[in-house]
Amino acid sequence: MNANQAALRSGAANTVLTVLGAISFCHFLNDLIQSLLPAIYPLLKTNYALDFGQIGLLTLTYQTTASLLQPLVGWYTDKRPMPYSLAVGMGFTLSGLLLLAMATSFGTLLLAAALVGTGSSVFHPESSRIARLASGGRHGFAQSFFQVGGNLGSSIGPLLAAFIVLPYGQHSIAWFSIAALTAIVVLTRVGGWYAQHMRARAQSPVHEVAHGLSRKQVMLAIAVLLALIFSKYFYLASLYSYYTFYLIERFHVSVRDSQLYLFVFLGAVALGTLVGGPVGDRIGRKYVIWASILGVLPFTLILPHANLFWTAVLSVVIGLILSSAFSAILVYAQELLPGKVGTISGMFFGFAFGMGGLGAALLGELADHRGIEYVYAICAWLPAIGLLTVFLPNLRQRKLAHVQ
């Protein structure tokens, strides 16, 4: 056994925490930057006299560039790995951030949102691939660890917006370019590890255990997973984009207080994400998907009827439960189609972003015509789609049977 093979097998037995930590940290920075846009919607709405439909269009623009490009990036890098593409992608994010700080018209805001979305389209499928490569076989843990960085960034973004951007104005967004520059430096180092790892892996390929499903069964399972992503992200769109407006309109809280409530909700999302992956590694991903999507239904149904205190409590419970699903869904899908990690990651991240953007746009129009409270009453039923989980095969049991 040569030195490269020995190093690879040693690394396969242990999670490469340094790489996971670096990619999770960059996910934190990336999503912190991305979360600034929805966090300053109240400011932009006032400055540019935007209606809810235009707010939704901003989110749709960002989510569309991210969602449509991600599957293409993943498919291409499955065939031609590009270790340093992550740093290049973060350059797009940096450009969009600076443009957002200097924007003087709604059209410029749309262009800034598109650039940030383009950076995201490169970051997510490639960083998800690196998380799997550095997992040491603990795929659920690695995806959760990677995801929680993004969730923490998303939760802190609105808090920073409340204390920096809202008091000092739109131009203060430019200070966050420091975060993007830091991420570019770290991602360049990660790209070096990725290139070295791929050279070693080529000399000693790793083969995954087959699940024995037919192509028809795999396609049905993928369709069910995408339906669950639709349910999860359409509902989350109502919270990510309109939670602050809901609190302001229904309970008459201040803009700053609404941002603090959003921060608490997003913190719960981060914690739930961290739990979902390792639990899926231990008990099976299908059970986590069941509990996450369908298990949140009673709480979403109660939310539109709760007072301010219970709205805050329920939003935390909803964030904890619902956020545990994505890592389990993503790893489950990667196991359905081994060898296509980038394609699957791009497809699912892209679809999630797309559903978030479409949901934001449609729910914005609905809020303009029927009111923001009506939006929450309708969205409360979306988690019922979790019943489709019954059609997912238990991959854990099938793989054990295949080995035996």
- Which CATH number do you get for residue 250? 1.20.1250.20
| 313-350 tens-digit pLDDT | 999 999 888 888 888 888 888 888 887 888 888 888 87
More confident residue, 319 or 270: 319
Q: What does pLDDT average to over the chain?
A: 83
**Range of the structural domain that residue 104 is part of:** 3-403
Mean pLDDT of the region 70-87: 84
Tell me the mean pLDDT in the region 116-144.
85
What local confidence, expressed as pLDDT, does residue 152 receive? Answer: 80
Regarding predicted confidence, which is higher, 399 or 260? 260
Task: For residues 165 and 141, give the distance between their C-alpha atoms in angstroms, rounded to a whole number.
Answer: 34
Highest-pLDDT range among 16-25, 45-54, 255-264, 356-365: 16-25
Number of domains in the chain: 1
- The confidence score (pLDDT) of residue 11 equals 47
pLDDT above 60 (res 247): yes
**The one-letter amino acid at 289:** I
What is the per-residue pLDDT across 81-110, written as a single tens digit (0 to 9) for each? 788 889 999 999 999 989 988 888 888 999
Q: What is the pLDDT of residues 166-199, one digit of tens each?
A: 788 888 888 989 999 999 999 999 988 888 877 7
* 4 vs 125 pLDDT, higher one: 125
Rounded Cα gap, residues 347 and 124, in angstroms? 10
Q: Please tell me the predicted confidence (pLDDT) of residue 129.
A: 86
